Amino acid sequence: MKKAKDVVETSEKESPKASKPARRDMLSTGSTLLNLACSGNPFGGFVKGKYYYLVGDSTSGKTFLSMTCFAEAMIHRHFKNYRLVYDNVEDGMLMDVEKLFGKAVGKRIEAPSKDKAGNPVFSYTIEEFYYHLDDLIKEGKPFIYVLDSMDGLSSTAELEKFDAHKKAYRSKEKSPGSYGDGKAKKNSEGIRKVLNDLRNSGSILIIISQTRDSLGTGFSPKTHSGGHALEFYATLQLWTSIAEQIKKTVRNKARNIGVKVKIKTKKNRITGKTGEVQIAIYPSYGIDDIGTCVDYLVSEKWWKCPTKQTIEAGEFDITASREALIQKIEKEGWEDELRSIVGKCWKEIEAASNPNRKNKYA
């Protein structure tokens, strides 16, 4: 039987003809399935030097995903010296960062700027966001910057129009016209400018947006604010939504203890492939990567279930209940082996799904 360690080594070998990002240049999203959906590599999803756009419904794990990237950076030797910048525009992230993501992350996360008294300064307008980015780039140290969120930003144009409307209302004058936040134009200018700087410094930018119901006649029922440039210039465009609640019976009552989040890759410049995965997130724990991987291997019939209560994990020579198997993997430190097994399963499914045709330009 092939040992799990051998599976890891095999999965990391690449064809000399392949033009793929090196593992050292890839940051894990904290989810093996999401990594595979993003890059085809179970160990990394985000390539350094790029901009990523994360759009999602309320409470669908967007902040959890971005904070998990910080935690993954701290355990990746090629990212652990990066600055971790969290632009808390919405002032809505109140989770216990040290408990969920580690003390090192809690100590390293910084605001984009500080005032004279040393207090954190977050972006208030779209202009300030790009000024903060420019300051960081000029300081010369690579960073991971999370903007949470684009929706919370105002703009100079919006503030000026508010003042004009207020003045007109108070003086009984005619309104100066409709509102317009000007963010689409600023994003078109700003994102284009920052891409080259991200590439040169190896930095990563993650912009979060909330979904909005589309009022147009298009095919998509959801949209977002900030303009089309946010989508156009993104290396990856990820959309999140809640697939279902995770429940546990406690004292004879079903309790909501987490959510299964559906994540769609609607644009992908790394592999060109789009798709959808589901991952489990618990507010008290974070992303359950091991549990999600086990469920995936069972659902794809890679691992058999001799009974309804047991799973036969052939690579580990174990037959056990789901929870016992998860605890064994954690105890033995088999996480990398598990990721490699999931990667192998993913690759086989992709290969079987591809058209059996000769390459026209090989």
Residue 123 belongs to a domain: yes
Backbone angles phi, psi at 266, to 5 degrees: -90, -15
Q: Where are the alpha helices (DSSP H) in 202-309?
A: 229-232, 289-299
343 pLDDT more than 50: yes
Query: For position 214, what pLDDT does the model report?
Result: 62
Residue 301 covered by a domain: no
Residue 30 in any domain: the answer is yes
Q: In the 8-state DSSP scheme, what is residue 315?
A: G
Whether residue 173 is predicted with pLDDT greater than 60 in this model: the reply is yes
- Which of 196-210, 222-236, 332-346 has the weakest average pLDDT? 222-236
Handedness of CA 260, 323, 11, 285 (dihedral sign): positive
Q: Enter the tokens of residue 316.
A: 């580990």
Residues near 49 by beta carbon (within 8 Å), at least 6 away in sequence: 25, 198, 199, 200, 201, 202, 203, 204
**Across residues 284-306, what is the average pLDDT?**
97
The domain total for the chain is: 1
Residue 302 maps to a domain: no
pLDDT, tens only, 108-151: 999 999 999 999 999 999 999 999 999 999 999 999 999 999 99
CA 260 to chain centre: 15
For residue 292, being part of any structural domain is answered with: no
- DSSP secondary structure string, 320-341? E-HHHHHHHHHHHT-HHHHHHH
Q: How far apart are CA 225 and CA 219, in angstroms?
A: 17
pTM score of the predicted model: 0.90
Specify if 229 maps to a domain: yes
Q: The tokens 């992303």 sit on which residue? A: 287
C-alpha to C-alpha distance for 327 and 38, rounded to whole angstroms: 28
Kindly report, residue by residue over 2-47, the tens digit of the pLDDT.
455 455 444 444 444 446 899 999 999 999 999 999 999 999 999 9
* Spacing of C-alpha 249 from chain mean position: 30
In a domain, 35, yes or no: yes
Q: Is the pLDDT of residue 324 over 90?
A: yes
165: domain CATH number is 3.40.50.300
- The verdict on residue 136 lying in a domain is yes
More confident of the two residues 357 and 235: 235
DSSP state string for 146-186 = EEE-GGG-B-HHHHHHHHHHHHHHHTTPPP-------HHHH
Domain, as residue range, for 57: 20-287
**In sequence order, which residues have a C-beta less than 8 Å from that of residue 85 and are 6 or more positions away?**
109, 110, 111, 112, 136, 143, 144, 145, 146
List helix spans (H) across 202-321.
229-232, 289-299
Cα 326 from chain centroid? 24
Instruction: Report the percentage of the chain scoring pLDDT > 90.
Output: 76
- Rounded CA gap, 216 and 222, in Å? 10
